[in-house]
Amino acid sequence: METEIKNLSKTRIGILFEVPWEEIKPFLKRAFSQLESEVNVPGFRQGKVPEEILEKKIGREKILSFAAESFIREKYPQFIRDRKIEVIGSPQLSVLKLAWGNPFCFKVVVDVLPEVQLPDYKKIAQGVPVEKIEVSDEKIMETLKWLQQQRATFNELQRKARLGDFISIEYRSPQIENGRIFKDEFLLGKGGFVGNFEEEIQGLRKGEEKRFQIDFPKDYPRSNLAGKKIEFLVRVNKIQEMKLPPLDDDFAKSVGRFENLQGLKKSIKEGIFMEEQNTANLRRREKILEEISQKCDFEVPQNLVDVETQRLVEDFRKEVEKELKMSFTDYLKNAKTTEEELKKTFATRSVRNVKKFVILREIVRKENIQASNREIEEKINQEVLKKYPDINTAKKSVDLEKLKLYYKSVIENEKVMQLLTKASS
C-alpha cells in the first residue's frame, strides 16, 4: 500500500491511499463470507456456495464496496497508530477509484493537533506564587452559626411576623409563569428576595394574604422581569420562632466526637483550610496554564472549538434551567437572542479552553507522561462503574472504550498539573 500525507493547513491533513489489488483480495473473501447470508441459492448449503455464483447473485459492485469498507475500517486506524498521528474527530472519507481488478484509491481528510513550540513551562510555573491561606475567626463562627441553625428547634407563633422569624409562605404573580404558585420557607429578612419583598410580609399573621408590587432592578437576569414593576399575592402559612442551642461543650458533643467546643472549632478551621487550599490550588493551576498559553502562538483546530462551544452552551442551558427555573427556549426568547448568537459569545472562551487542552497534550508528549491501564480502570470503577449493579448493566449504558480514552486524558492532564504545581512550589 502506498500512502501520501499532505498538509492542508496547520491543523488538517489529507492522506492518499493506493492499495494494490492483491491486498484487496483477502477482504473480498470476507465480503463473500459475510454477504452470503443475504442470498438463498437452491441446492447449496450456507457456506458452500461457489464464489462465482455468489458474485452473480449479489453483484460485483456490492461485494467490492463491502470489501473496501472493511479494508478502510481495519487499515486506516492501524495507519494512524503506526504513524503516531493524533487525529481529532471523525475523518472525511472519499473513494477516488474502486474497480474490479484495479488498485483501490481513497482519500482521508482529518483534523490533527497542531505543532506547538512550548516555552519554558516549568520556569513559568515557578513564577506563579503560592497563595497563603488564613482562616479567620469570622469564618469559623459562620460555620458554627450554620451548625446551630441545623439543630435549632421551632415553636409556632400566633403573632404578627417579625424580622428573624422562620416563616412558610406561598406566593404567585400573574407576570411569572402564568401565575404558578411557589412555596418557600426562610428566615424573614434573610430570604434573599428581590427589593422590599420581605419587608412587605412583616406584620402579617398566619393565614393572612397581601397583594403588593416590587420594582425589579434593571440588571435582573430574567429580562422579562428586569426593570419592571411586578405584582405579587403572598399568603403566610406558618410563623415560627427559631431557638438556637447554646454554643458550648454539650453542643460540640452533639455535633460529633468532640470533647469540647474548642475541639469543634479546631475541626472546622481544618476543614475550611483544606477547602480554601483546594480552591487556591485550582486558581493557581489555571493561572499557570494561562501564562503558558499567553506565550504560545498556534492555530487551534476549529472542530475542537466547535465541540467546546457546544459544551459551554449545554452547561449554560443546565444552569438556566436549574437557577432561573425556566426552559432554555423561554430564556432565549426573553433575552431576545438565539442559540447561534449565544455560541458567538462563547467563542473567545472556547478558543482559550482548546488552546490550554492542546498545550497539556503537548506537555504530556514531551514529558512522556502516561496513564497506566490500572490507573484508568481504577478511575472508571470509582467514578462510573460503581453506580451500576453489575458490569453487564454498565456495558449496556456506557461505551467503555470511550471512557478509557477520556480517563486516560484526565489522568495524564492531572499528572501534568502536578508536575507544574510542584515546579511552582
**What's the pLDDT at 37?**
64
pLDDT digits (tens, 9 = 90+) for 43-93: 555 555 556 666 666 777 888 888 899 999 999 999 999 998 888 888 999
- The pLDDT of residue 47: 55
Burial 206-226, CB ≥16 within 10 A → b, else e: beeeeeeebebeeeeebebbe
d(C-alpha 100, C-alpha 30), whole Å: 16
Would you say domain 285-424 falls under CATH 1.10.3120.10?
A: yes
- Residue 285 scores a pLDDT above 90: yes
Determine the pLDDT at residue 424.
58
Task: State CA 143 to chain mean position distance.
Answer: 30
CATH assignment, 2-112: 3.30.70.1050
What pLDDT is stored for residue 145 in this prediction? 93
Q: What is the pTM of this model?
A: 0.73
The DSSP annotation for 84-126 comes to: T--EEEEEEEEEEE--TTS-EEEEEEEEEPPP-----HHHHHH
Structure confidence at residue 390 as a pLDDT band (50, 70, 90) = confident
The β-bridge relationship of strands 182-187 and 87-97 is unpaired
At residue 33, the pLDDT reads 75
Q: Give percent of the chain above pLDDT 70.
A: 93
The pLDDT value recorded for residue 248 is 94
What does the pLDDT average to over 121-148?
94
Checking if the pLDDT of 383 tops 90, the result is: no
Which CATH code, of 3.40.640.10, 3.10.50.40, 3.40.50.1100, 3.40.50.2300, is assigned to 153-243? 3.10.50.40
Residue 355 in this model has a pLDDT that exceeds 60: yes
The amino acid occupying position 249 is: D
- Side-chain half-sphere exposure of 261, counting CA atoms within 13 A: 14
- Residue 332's pLDDT is 87
- At 204-231, the pLDDT tens digits run 999 999 999 999 998 887 777 889 999 9
Quote the pLDDT of residue 5: 94
User: Range(s) for CATH 1.10.3120.10 in the chain?
Assistant: 285-424
| pLDDT value for 92 | 92
For the cut 80, the answer to whether the pLDDT of residue 127 exceeds it is: yes
For residue 362, pLDDT over 70 is answered with: yes
The pLDDT score that the predictor gives to residue 387 is 80
Ranges for all domains in the chain classified under CATH 3.10.50.40: 153-243
Please return the burial class of 30, using the count of CB atoms within 10 Å of its CB with bins 0-12, 13-18 and 19+: middle
User: Which has the minimum average pLDDT: 38-42, 126-130, 370-374?
Assistant: 38-42
The three grid cell numbers given for residue 249, joined into one nine-digit string: 461543650
Mind listing the pLDDT tens digit for each residue in 289-316? Answer: 999 999 999 999 888 899 999 999 999 9
Locate CATH 3.30.70.1050 in the chain: 2-112
Q: What is the pLDDT of residue 425?
A: 57
In this prediction, residue 364 carries a pLDDT of 94
Could you tell me if 394 and 384 are in contact, meaning their C-beta atoms sit under 8 angstroms apart?
A: yes
Residue 363 confidence class, pLDDT cut points 50, 70, 90: very high
Which are the contacts of 349, defined by CB distance < 8 A and separation ≥ 6? Answer: 312
In the block, residue with C-alpha cell 455560541:
343
Average pLDDT over residues 17-40: 81
